[in-house]
Amino acid sequence: MAADTSQQPELIAALTNDAPLIIHWLESLGMMFDKHPDGRMKVRHGGGTCRKRMHSAGDMTGAEIMRVLRDEARNRTGKIKILEFTPAVELILDDKGNAAGAVLYNLETKEYYVARARAVVIATGGFGRLHIQGFPTTNHYGATADGVVMAYRAGVALQDLDSTQYHPTGAIFPEQNVGLLITEKVRGLGAQLLNIEGEQFCFPLEPRDVESACVIRECMEIGKGIITPTGRHGVWLDSPMIDMLHGEGTVRKELPAKFIQFKRYDIDISKVPMLIYPTLHYQNGGIRINEWAETSVKGLFSAGEVAGGVHGRNRLMGNSLLDVLVFGRRAGLRAIEHVKSSKAAGKLSLGHVEKFNKEIDKAGIDNGIQSPLILPNYAPDHVRARQIGQGSKN
Ligand SMILES: Cc1cc2nc3c(=O)[nH]c(=O)nc-3n(C[C@H](O)[C@H](O)[C@H](O)COP(=O)(O)OP(=O)(O)OC[C@H]3O[C@@H](n4cnc5c(N)ncnc54)[C@H](O)[C@@H]3O)c2cc1C
């Protein structure tokens, strides 16, 4: 791969240096990593790696991380206040241009609130639900780039937002599973990609951009894809190969979530292959941060998929779950320091939003797009017309 100049070395140093600490911390919270019988951590190859370094918890690593983190937050009831269904819709700055809080919107009561804060951390995730280039996505419904929009209006520096990651193996059959992620671990365990002739057409563990391009070319240019009953193009991912290589029952044991997900539709992926095509997976760029998760606005921090610079323009597998924890922790530590050392915020202001709106008017832009979007509306027009209070075009 060509050198990626948008990747910031100081962020990679933070990521790699903090990695052992994060793994140790997760273990101490009770996370169940995949291990050998003698207690050693299992490590595997992912696409584009020269060393085995992927840690996992079945095929539900993210869910397992969230299980222990959520418990930890709940166990500290009283110290951590959680507001559900109340997204941030705008950042608030003070008269010196420092972060001073956010405007929140209660989705149930439809009321707005002002949350004052001397430190604000943006960690709103990626932009998969914008369905860039019309691709389905692996992302949850809230992945609509809200953090990027709010930061942009506050004048925060952004980077590499034109760079998007498509995961090569998104399900395309059955229709209910379209866009669903088929984890890289499947190929890590030995499953190959096959065209309609049963031929292997690329090495299965290329980086995601290369692998995705191979699949798209095989379907759209070479014409050796498989077409589903609804007209989607894809290739086979031969999961039964895994049991042949590692013994009967491996698919069920190593990939329990995917096994159940397909079994619901009477498809046994240890016996029949899956049909896949690339799916929109990850926002490579985002809010520009330094190694302490600080943005260009004082008191404003950012961490996770919404931030750019850690992975450059092409993330390698497995690095995001590490990224969110390394920079989430760093953002938290720095935010505490900032709060202790800074004076109370000055006069609260939404002047940056007014300025942004004036610039939009001046440029004559009126595209009717609502932003931040919060949640996309998938209802077709005729259904939307019947929805109460749904004036939005989005
Ligand atoms: C199916 C799937 C599997 C993956 N597997 C792996 C893996 O094995 N290894 C790996 O390294 N990476 C993996 N990734 C990538 C990784 O999970 C994500 O990049 C990571 O979870 C992003 O975490 P985050 O905290 O930045 O954002 P998220 O987990 O997306 O969390 C953002 C949160 O912010 C909330 N939010 C959004 N907008 C607002 C707003 N305006 N106000 C308030 N809250 C808001 C959202 O509701 C959400 O709760 C996977 C991704 C997917 C989709």
Q: In which band, very low, low, confident or very high, does the pLDDT at 3 lie, cut at 50, 70 and 90? A: very low
Say how far apart CA 181 and CA 330 lie, in whole Å: 29
- Domain regions of the chain by residue span: 9-30+83-163+284-349, 166-280
Q: Using one digit for the tens of pLDDT, what is the confidence trace for 312-335?
A: 999 998 999 999 999 999 999 999
Q: Look at residue 193 and tell me whether its pLDDT is greater than 90.
A: yes
Rounded to an integer, the average pLDDT of 369-388 is 87
- Give me 310's structure tokens: 């850690």
* Structure confidence at residue 389 (pLDDT): 63
Say which range, 27-36, 45-54, 220-229, 263-272, has the weakest mean pLDDT. 45-54
Q: In which band, very low, low, confident or very high, does the pLDDT at 45 lie, cut at 50, 70 and 90? A: confident
Q: Which residue among the candidates 167, 232, 313, 352 is catalytic per the annotation?
A: 167
* Structure confidence at residue 381 (pLDDT): 86
Rounded to an integer, the average pLDDT of 39-44 is 94
* Structure confidence at residue 339 (pLDDT): 97
Q: In which band, very low, low, confident or very high, does the pLDDT at 14 lie, cut at 50, 70 and 90? A: very high
Residue from 53, 121, 189, 305 to probe ligand 1 pocket by mutation (most atoms less than 8 Å from CB): 305
Atom of ligand 1 at shortest distance to CA of 146? 41
Do residues 258 and 269 touch, judged by C-beta distance below 8 A?
A: yes
Answer yes or no: same fold for 9-30+83-163+284-349 and 166-280: no
Rounded to an integer, the average pLDDT of 101-129 is 97
- Model pTM score: 0.94
Instruction: Determine whether 187 is an active site residue.
Output: yes
| CB of 280 sitting under 6 A from ligand 1 | no
Do residues 148 and 306 touch, judged by C-beta distance below 8 A?
A: yes
CA 63 / ligand 1 centre spacing (Å): 11
Name the superfamily (CATH) of residues 9-30+83-163+284-349.
FAD/NAD(P)-binding domain (3.50.50.60)
Instruction: Determine whether 70 is an active site residue.
Output: no
Scanning 43-172, the segments in alpha helix (DSSP H) are 61-75, 146-153
Residue type (1 letter), 284: N
Say which range, 39-43, 157-161, 365-369, has the weakest mean pLDDT. 365-369
| 363 class by beta-carbon count within 10 Å (0-12 exposed, 13-18 middle, 19+ buried) | exposed
CA 289 / ligand 1 centre spacing (Å): 18
* Structure confidence at residue 4 (pLDDT): 52
Tell me which residue has its CA closest to atom 35 in ligand 1. Answer: 124
Residue from 22, 124, 181 to probe ligand 1 pocket by mutation (most atoms less than 8 Å from CB): 124
Q: Look at residue 117 and tell me whether its pLDDT is greater than 90.
A: yes
* Structure confidence at residue 344 (pLDDT): 85
Mean pLDDT score of the chain, rounded to an integer?
94
Q: Look at residue 354 and tell me whether its pLDDT is greater than 90.
A: yes
Q: Look at residue 391 and tell me whether its pLDDT is greater than 70.
A: no
| CB of 120 sitting under 6 A from ligand 1 | no
Length of the chain: 394
Q: In which band, very low, low, confident or very high, does the pLDDT at 343 lie, cut at 50, 70 and 90? A: confident
Class for the domain spanning 166-280: alpha beta
Atom of ligand 1 at shortest distance to CA of 319? 11
CA 125 / ligand 1 centre spacing (Å): 5
| CB of 372 sitting under 6 A from ligand 1 | yes
Which among 354, 306, 303 has a CA at the least distance from the CA of 324?
303
Q: Which residue among the candidates 55, 118, 187, 208 is catalytic per the annotation?
A: 187
Strand partners, 15: none
| CB of 61 sitting under 6 A from ligand 1 | yes
Say how far apart CA 126 and CA 225 lie, in whole Å: 30
pLDDT above 70: percentage of residues in the chain: 97
Contacts of 378 (CB under 8 A, 6+ apart): none
Rounded to an integer, the average pLDDT of 340-363 is 94
Query: Vertex 165, ends 163 and 166: CA angle to 5°?
Result: 135
Q: Look at residue 390 and tell me whether its pLDDT is greater than 60.
A: no
- Residue 286: in which H helix or E strand, if any? strand 286-288
Atom of ligand 1 at shortest distance to CA of 128? 53
Do residues 58 and 255 touch, judged by C-beta distance below 8 A?
A: yes
CA 17 / ligand 1 centre spacing (Å): 22
| CB of 293 sitting under 6 A from ligand 1 | no
| CB of 15 sitting under 6 A from ligand 1 | no
Do residues 48 and 317 touch, judged by C-beta distance below 8 A?
A: yes
CA 316 / ligand 1 centre spacing (Å): 16
* Structure confidence at residue 2 (pLDDT): 39
Atom of ligand 1 at shortest distance to CA of 150? 41
* Structure confidence at residue 392 (pLDDT): 47
